[in-house]
Chains A and B, each alone.
Chain A
Amino acid sequence: MSTPTLPARPAGGAGAGAGSGANGPRERLRRLRAELRHWRVTDLIGVAAAWVVGIGLCVVAASILGYMLVQGLRYLSLDLLVTQPEPSLNQTRSGGILDPILGTVIMVIVGTLIALPLAVGAALWVVEFGRPRWLARTVESMIEVIAGSPSIVIAIFGLAIFQLPLMSWMSFTADGGAVFGRSFLTAGAMMSLIAIPSIFTATREALLSIPQHLREASYALGKTRWSTIRAVLLPSVRPGIATGTALGMGRIAGDTAIIVVLLGATLRIEPEGGVPLWGTLTGTGSTLTSYVYNNSPAGEGGAPEKAYAAAFVLLLIVLALNALVSIAGRRDPARTLQK
Chain B
Amino acid sequence: MSRPATESHDPAGSDGDGTRGAYPPPVRRIALDRAPTVVADDPAERPLVSPSIERALRPATGRERLRIDELSIFYGDAPKPAVNAVTLPVHEGEVLALIGPSGCGKTTLLRSLNRLIELTPGARRQGRIVLDGEDIDGLEMTRLRRRVSMVFQQPNPFPMSIFDNVAYALREQSRKRPSKRDLLPRVEHALRRAGLWDEVSHDLSRPALRLSGGQQQRLCIARALAVEPEVLLMDEPCSALDPISTTVIEQLIHELRSELAIVIVTHNLQQARRVADNVAFMYLGDLIEYGPTEELFERPRAERTREYVGGTFG
- Segment touching A, from B121-129, B183-191, B251-259: B121-129
Question: How close is B135's CB to chain A, nearest CB, in angstroms?
Answer: 6
B13 CB-CB contact with A under 8 Å: no
Q: A-B contact count, CB below 8 Å?
A: 68
Complex Cα–Cα for A34 and B141 (A): 9
Q: Is there contact, CB below 8 Å, between B175 and A8?
A: no
Residue B58 interfacial (CB < 8 Å)? yes
Interface size class of A (residues with CB under 8 A): 20 to 34
Inter-subunit contact A16/B128 (CB<8 Å) = yes
Interface size class of B (residues with CB under 8 A): 20 to 34
Question: Are A22's CB and B125's CB within 8 A?
Answer: yes
Quick one: closest A residue to B277, CB to CB? A1
Tell me the residues in window 34-55 of chain B with beta carbons closer than 8 Å to chain A beta carbons. Answer: 55
User: Smallest CB–CB gap between A334 and chain B, Å?
Assistant: 21
Q: Which residues of A contact B91 (CB under 8 A)?
A: 4
Partner of A9, one of B69, B85, B175, B292: B85
Contacts of B70 in A (CB 8 A): 10, 13, 16-17
Question: Pick the contact of B141 from A13, A35, A40 — CB < 8 Å?
Answer: A35
- The B-contacting residues of A in range 34-80, CB under 8 angstroms, are 34-35, 38, 40
Tell me the smallest distance from the CB of B308 to a CB of chain A, in Å: 14
**A21 near B290 (CB under 8 angstroms)?**
no
Nearest residue (CB) in A for B64 is A4
> Is B61 in contact with A2, judged by CB distance below 8 angstroms?
yes
What residue of chain A has the Cβ atom nearest to residue B278's Cβ?
A4
Return the CB mask of A1-30 against B: 1 if under 8 Å, else 0. 111101011100100110111110000000
**Contact assessment for A17 and B60 in the assembled complex, using a CB-CB cutoff below 8 Å:** no
Known contacts: A1-B61, A16-B70. The answer to whether A8 contacts B289 by CB under 8 A is yes
CA of A1 to CA of B58, assembled, Å: 8
The answer, yes or no, to whether B142 is at the interface (CB within 8 Å) is: yes
Chain B neighbourhood of A22, CB < 8 A? 118, 123-125
Residues 284 to 300 of chain B near chain A (Cβ within 8 Å): 287-292
The verdict on B140 contacting chain A, using a C-beta distance below 8 Å, is yes
Interface membership of B137, Cβ < 8 A: yes
1/0 per residue, CB under 8 A from B, across A71-106: the answer is 000000000000000000000000000000000000
Whether a CB of chain A sits under 8 angstroms from the CB of B87 is yes
Which residues of A are found within 8 Å of B25, using beta-carbon distances?
A: none
24 A-B pairs whose Cβ atoms sit less than 8 Å apart in the complex: A1-B59, A1-B292, A2-B60, A3-B291, A3-B292, A4-B89, A4-B91, A4-B290, A4-B292, A6-B88, A6-B89, A6-B290, A8-B288, A9-B85, A9-B87, A13-B85, A13-B87, A16-B85, A16-B126, A20-B125, A22-B118, A22-B123, A35-B141, A38-B142
B: residues with CB less than 8 A from A are 55, 58-61, 69-70, 72, 85, 87-89, 91, 118, 123-128, 135, 137, 140-142, 175, 277-278, 287-292
A residues near B, CB below 8 A? Answer: 1-4, 6, 8-10, 13, 16-17, 19-23, 34-35, 38, 40
Given contacts A4-B61, A20-B135, 11 further A-B pairs with CB under 8 A are: A1-B58, A4-B89, A6-B88, A6-B89, A8-B288, A8-B289, A13-B85, A16-B127, A16-B128, A21-B125, A23-B124
- Nearest first, the 5 A-B pairs at minimum CB distance are A16-B70, A17-B126, A1-B60, A20-B137, A16-B127
